């Protein structure tokens, strides 16, 4: 029997004809050769599908090969039509295309029509070859059945990945006006096909067609924007996982037969829950007992706290064991006595896991029961109250439970599970404290000192500000200066004011002090005037702390005149103003009702970069933190794994769509010791306004970190996000309302003051959240809040410059186009512009409608390339691909610098050169503006007199001539033919360039 086979690799197609009525098509390819038919998978909603699938036809009689032909027909699948196969084109290949494998290359064949009047366009990429390899088995023929939509979405864990080169070729081989999509390959490797037997291969192929929807899909690479230039490995990936609500495909949830669940944005995870409540009548040989309970399931052990000398202890602790990791069919709950040297077993309760009931919320919690303990197979005195059940992460006991997946097999609970468990935090409500220091009277100085430079120092918590020093020969001082601080509820720290007198270099003397509790300070939500008040000063700080106000009726005591209030009409920024997660004012009375709900499912992290070494190999103890508004959430820490699966879901109320959700990934340093810092792995930002209402976004976000060696991918974070609004009308109206509270416009804060207050707010929030259990450490809060984003960076400066150039590139393009029109580079275009120009001048009422219509056409044209996924970190936009090592080293340097003085001097010289160029550009811009001012300022009397004469004549001419005439003349003069142009600049340009500027008056 001949081993000759015809191999066909269907690579992809591009620029197909849209057939679904929505500008797209769901394409698949049918291959016909010698009464054999194969079918590829279906690529839904893609005019540029990529398959990369191989098929092998059996050549029964090699002598007939020259007379045989291969037909590759491309169809669109339409499930709503009686005939689901809609013809898109075909390719017919004959014997000239059947070459050996070594000579075969991928060729793109234009699609042919089926009949004369068919509408067909596009090309199909095929690689056709003949092989005699005996290890290659023919592909099993599929029955003629309807193709499975998204049948390419089967699991790709056992499939070979596409090479990076092939992916780039697939991505850049398409037309420029088509959104860039790249897909991983779907078929298995040839080696696996060679090794599998025919029955097994047939079963796998049939299961792939029939049950393609049941397994995880390949990841589709999608850029957030059509013009995104991020590297391939740093691109956003769209996934279609099977979650609690069903499988997510293209943002829609295919529920199937799954019951509805409140945790519908995460994959259900099964856990064995054990609640240890209390014990009674425990036996003891010595009369005293230090009991604790050890719960053992397979290789995992969880331990309660031990209670000293207590024979009826109460623990009320919950243990959760992941069912996927259970390696035993029994559960053992042992009561032990804590000994000095050796712990003794008091008794044991055993459960067979097959008999454990399953609880599904919203069922009521399982009631605990009393179980008699036994030892060595004999019943003993004493009972233990337990509740054992199977559940999921939707269970109420899940957040506070001890988790087996937070420890590695063989470990124990010696590390406090409080440092590893999930937690929901609420950052404190922040207020601005406005202190106006007006004056002081009857200041009492010491005998050896005299009044020199006196100032007022104001302190609350760790925040210290000082007024400007003033000099006075009398005992009365006046400052009239306003200072602002940030305070958090509850107001634990008072406001401390002290008047300091500088009696020598670095030597100050306290003249008087006063302590004002913030709980007694008046609050306001608008800009009404706050009543000022006189406060009596104490001679020392200790006496001020002891007595609040001193002697109220002592007319001879020193006094200070103050105006103090808590401003609740502002929003206190604790994040960057460009990606803030909350814009509400502090005062609750000013809050509006929420407009929607944001739901976040933190699924898992893939391919984490090892952050530490344990047992001779790299590993990580990772957890995630999400922040939106005042609510922070922290997932449980999963230890000793580089692919942690969390599957935790959280919900926030949304008050403004112009806000940003931030999700960060960190390595828990408390596993190795309480004083270690948590390491930063990466973060993701998602702006709420970029999310469509009701759509489920399931994407894999690359975790990118900038290191001194450059940008590095630390892993991929898989998220499921859904934004739901209560009223679309209210949401649309919000776009036309002020972005910030009213006080930011009535009494605005300057940029420097706002940035200083933001730093104070971050420190206050970090201090409060570090008190929680487990603490949210300072480095985590600062990283999530972008505390150091204001520091100088050469990379950021270049990135912002290129951003500015990109913004103005559109105007520059219009200017270049007008230049081409005026120079008649394209005569037909220039003639059409003349006609349009004359029409608009003669009918000026058409100018505005034409402009708006033009903008509408541009916007609707760009609608085809709108982003399908939320934006993500862009390395090209951040200018991380062009930054030098020295610039990165400068960015990661501390402030103040710790580098060698020679390095600092060289960097300072470089900064001077860069600033010099910026200075020149700013000076040139100022010069152009000053020349315009010189027209009427008579700095150059001759130029001003000529300009005045020109204006007078122009006014008279314009009064007596129609409005359209000077405009037409000016337009025709601008678009005059090159034969009427001079090679030197025009007279108006020469006149403008001769005007004087103020550069002659600068030193």
Q: In 10 A of CB 589, how many CB atoms?
A: 8
pLDDT band at 97 (very low <50, low <70, confident <90, very high): confident
**Is 588-735 a CATH 2.60.40.150 domain?**
yes
CA dist 496 and 564 (Å) reads 12
CATH class of 5-131: mainly beta
Q: What pLDDT does residue 657 have?
A: 92
Q: What pLDDT does residue 261 have?
A: 64
Angle at alpha carbon of residue 876, lines to 871 and 877, rounded to 5°: 60
Q: What pLDDT does residue 547 have?
A: 60
Q: What pLDDT does residue 141 have?
A: 52
CA dist 987 and 946 (Å) reads 13
Mean pLDDT of 117-122: 82
This prediction's pTM: 0.69
Q: In 10 A of CB 590, how many CB atoms?
A: 16
| Residue 544: pLDDT over 80 | no
Token pair 């596009």 is at which residue?
122
HEC string for 550-598: CCCCCCCCCEEEEEEEEECCCCCCCCCHHHCCCCCCCCHHHCCCCCEEE
Residues 938-986 have pLDDT tens digits of 888 888 899 999 989 988 888 888 877 888 888 888 888 877 777 777 7
CA dist 242 and 260 (Å) reads 13
pLDDT band at 230 (very low <50, low <70, confident <90, very high): very low
Question: Where exactly are the structural domains of the chain?
Answer: 5-131, 270-392, 430-567, 588-735, 843-1001
Q: Are 438 and 404 in contact (CB under 8 A)?
A: no
pLDDT band at 180 (very low <50, low <70, confident <90, very high): very low
Q: In 10 A of CB 249, how many CB atoms?
A: 18
Q: What pLDDT does residue 400 have?
A: 82
Residues 628-655 have pLDDT tens digits of 999 999 998 988 889 999 999 999 999 9
Q: Are 516 and 564 in contact (CB under 8 A)?
A: yes
In terms of Cα–Cα distance, which of 235, 122, 236 is closest to 175?
122
Q: What pLDDT does residue 722 have?
A: 93
| Residue 120: pLDDT over 90 | no
Among the residue ranges 157-171, 260-274, 293-307, the one predicted with the least confidence is 157-171
| Residue 854: pLDDT over 90 | no
Angle at alpha carbon of residue 558, lines to 557 and 564, rounded to 5°: 120
Q: Are 560 and 444 in contact (CB under 8 A)?
A: no
Residues 44-89 have pLDDT tens digits of 888 889 998 999 988 888 888 888 889 999 998 887 777 778 888 9
Residues 127-157 have pLDDT tens digits of 888 888 777 776 655 444 444 444 343 333 3
| Residue 993: pLDDT over 70 | yes
Give start and end residues of each alpha helix (H) in 736-846.
743-746, 751-769, 778-785, 794-822, 827-842
What is the side-by-side strand order in the sheet with 271-280?
A: 300-303, 291-297, 330-337, 344-352, 369-375, 378-391, 271-280, 314-322, 402-403
In terms of Cα–Cα distance, which of 925, 944, 680, 634 is closest to 787?
680
pLDDT band at 416 (very low <50, low <70, confident <90, very high): low
What number of residues does the chain have?
1003
Q: Which CA distances in Å does 479 have to 438, 451, 453, 464, 466?
A: 5, 15, 12, 17, 11
- Residue 361 CB partners (closer than 8 Å, separation 6+): 262, 391, 394, 395, 396
Burial of 341 (0-12, 13-18, 19+ CB in 10 A): exposed
Mean pLDDT of 94-122: 81
Topology of domain 430-567, CATH: Immunoglobulin-like (2.60.40)
Burial of 996 (0-12, 13-18, 19+ CB in 10 A): middle
Q: Is there a common fold for 270-392 and 430-567?
A: yes
Q: What pLDDT does residue 228 have?
A: 40
Topology of domain 270-392, CATH: Immunoglobulin-like (2.60.40)
Q: What pLDDT does residue 192 have?
A: 38
Higher pLDDT, 900 or 456: 456
What percent of the chain lies above the pLDDT cut of 90?
25
CA dist 806 and 794 (Å) reads 18
In terms of Cα–Cα distance, which of 10, 29, 45 is closest to 179?
45
| Residue 827: pLDDT over 50 | yes
Q: What pLDDT does residue 823 have?
A: 82
CA dist 776 and 634 (Å) reads 8
Q: What pLDDT does residue 432 have?
A: 94
Q: What pLDDT does residue 198 have?
A: 38
CA dist 645 and 634 (Å) reads 14
Q: How far is CA 142 from the centre of its chain?
A: 44
Q: Kindly report the average pLDDT of the chain as a whole number.
A: 81
């Amino acid at each position: 029997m001949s081993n000759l086979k015809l191999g066909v690799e269907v690579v992809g197609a591009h620029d197909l004809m849209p057939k679904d009525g929505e500008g797209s098509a769901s394409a698949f390819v049918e291959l016909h050769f010698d009464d054999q038919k194969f079918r590829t998978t279906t690529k839904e909603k893609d005019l540029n599908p990529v398959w990369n699938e191989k098929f092998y036809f059996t050549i029964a009689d090699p002598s007939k090969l020259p007379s045989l032909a291969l037909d590759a027909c491309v169809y669109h699948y339409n499930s709503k039509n009686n005939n689901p196969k809609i013809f898109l084109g075909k390719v017919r290949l004959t014997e000239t295309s059947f070459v050996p494998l070594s000579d075969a290359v991928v060729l793109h064949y234009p699609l042919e029509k089926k009949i004369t009047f068919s509408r067909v366009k596009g090309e199909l990429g095929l690689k056709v070859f003949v092989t005699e390899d005996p290890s290659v088995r023919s592909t099993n023929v599929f029955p003629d059945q309807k193709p499975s939509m998204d049948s390419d979405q089967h699991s790709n864990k056992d499939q070979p990945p596409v090479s990076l080169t092939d992916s780039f070729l697939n991505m850049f081989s398409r037309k420029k006006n088509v959104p860039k999509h790249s897909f991983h390959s779907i078929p298995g490797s040839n080696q696996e096909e060679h090794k599998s037997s025919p029955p097994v291969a047939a079963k796998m192929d049939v299961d792939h067609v029939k049950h393609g929807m049941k397994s995880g899909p390949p990841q589709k690479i999608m850029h957030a924007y059509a013009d995104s230039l991020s590297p391939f490995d740093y691109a956003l990936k769209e996934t279609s996982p099977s979650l609690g609500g069903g499988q997510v495909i293209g943002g829609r949830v295919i529920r199937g037969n799954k019951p509805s669940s409140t945790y519908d944005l995460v994959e259900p995870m099964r856990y064995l829950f054990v609640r240890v409540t209390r014990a009674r009548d425990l036996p003891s040989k010595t009369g005293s007992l230090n009991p604790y309970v050890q719960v053992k399931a397979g290789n995992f052990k969880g331990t309660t706290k031990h209670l000293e000398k207590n024979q009826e202890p109460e623990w009320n602790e919950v243990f959760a064991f992941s069912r996927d990791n259970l390696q035993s069919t029994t559960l053992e709950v042992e009561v032990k006595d804590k000994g000095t040297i050796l712990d003794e077993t008091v008794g044991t309760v055993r459960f067979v896991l097959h008999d454990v009931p399953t609880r599904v919320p919203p069922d009521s919690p399982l009631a605990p029961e009393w179980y008699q303990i036994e030892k060595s197979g004999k019943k003993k005195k004493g009972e233990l109250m337990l509740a054992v059940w199977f559940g999921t992460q939707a269970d109420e006991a899940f957040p506070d439970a001890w988790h087996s997946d937070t420890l590695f097999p063989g470990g124990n609970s010696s590390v406090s599970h409080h440092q590893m468990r999930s937690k929901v935090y609420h950052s404190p409500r922040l207020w601005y404290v406005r202190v106006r220091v007006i004056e002081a009277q009857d200041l009492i100085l010491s005998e050896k000192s005299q009044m020199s430079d006196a100032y007022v120092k104001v302190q609350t918590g760790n925040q210290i500000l000082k007024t400007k020093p003033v000099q006075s020969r009398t005992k009365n001082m006046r400052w009239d200066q306003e200072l602002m601080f940030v305070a958090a509820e509850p107001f634990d720290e008072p406001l401390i004011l002290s008047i300091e007198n500088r009696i020598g270099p670095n030597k100050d003397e306290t003249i008087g002090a006063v302590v004002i509790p913030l709980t007694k300070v008046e609050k306001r939500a608008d800009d009404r005037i706050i009543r000022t008040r006189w406060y009596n000063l104490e001679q020392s700080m200790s006496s001020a702390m002891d007595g609040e106000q001193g002697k109220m009726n002592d007319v001879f005591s020193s006094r200070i005149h103050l105006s103090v209030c808590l401003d609740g009409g502002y929003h206190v920024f604790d994040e960057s103003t460009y990606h803030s997660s909350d814009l509400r004012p502090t005062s609750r009375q000013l809050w509006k009702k929420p407009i929607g709900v944001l739901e976040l499912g933190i699924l898992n992290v893939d391919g984490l970069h090892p952050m530490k070494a344990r047992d001779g190999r790299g590993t990580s103890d990772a957890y995630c933190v999400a922040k939106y508004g005042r609510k922070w959430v922290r997932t449980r820490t999963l230890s000793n794994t580089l692919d942690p699966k969390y599957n935790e879901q959280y919900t926030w109320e949304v008050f403004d769509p112009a806000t940003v959700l931030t999700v960060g990934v960190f390595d828990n340093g408390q596993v190795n010791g309480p004083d270690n810092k948590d390491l930063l792995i990466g973060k993701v930002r998602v702006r709420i306004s970029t999310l469509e209402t009701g759509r489920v976004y399931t994407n894999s976000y690359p975790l990118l970190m900038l290191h001194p060696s450059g940008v590095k991918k630390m892993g991929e974070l898989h998220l499921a996000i859904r934004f739901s609004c209560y009223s679309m009308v209210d949401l649309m109206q919000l776009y036309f309302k002020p972005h910030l509270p009213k006080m930011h416009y009535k009494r605005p804060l300057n940029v420097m003051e706002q940035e200083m207050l933001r730093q104070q707010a971050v420190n206050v929030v970090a201090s409060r959240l570090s008190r929680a259990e487990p603490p949210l450490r300072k480095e985590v809060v600062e990283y999530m809040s972008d505390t150091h984003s204001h520091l100088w960076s050469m990379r950021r400066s270049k990135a912002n410059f290129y951003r500015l150039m990109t913004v103005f590139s559109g105007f520059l393009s219009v200017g270049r186009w007008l230049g081409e029109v005026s120079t008649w580079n394209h005569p037909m275009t220039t003639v059409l512009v003349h006609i349009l120009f004359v029409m608009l001048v003669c009918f000026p009422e058409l100018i505005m409608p034409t402009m708006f219509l033009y903008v509408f056409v541009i916007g609707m044209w760009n609608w085809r390339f709108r982003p399908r996924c939320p934006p993500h970190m862009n390395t090209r936009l951040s200018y991380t691909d062009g930054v030098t090592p020295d610039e990165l080293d400068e960015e990661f340097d501390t402030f103040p610098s710790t580098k060698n003085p020679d390095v600092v001097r060289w960097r300072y010289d470089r900064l001077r050169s860069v600033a010099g160029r910026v200075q020149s550009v700013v000076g040139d811009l100022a010069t152009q503006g000053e020349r315009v001012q010189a027209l009427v300022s008579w700095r150059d009397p001759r130029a001003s007199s000529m300009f005045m004469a020109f204006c007078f004549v122009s006014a008279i001419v314009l009064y007596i001539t129609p409005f359209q005439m000077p405009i037409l003349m000016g337009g025709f003069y601008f678009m005059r033919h090159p034969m009427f142009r001079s090679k030197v600049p025009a007279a108006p340009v020469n006149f403008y360039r001769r005007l004087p500027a103020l550069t002659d008056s600068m030193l």
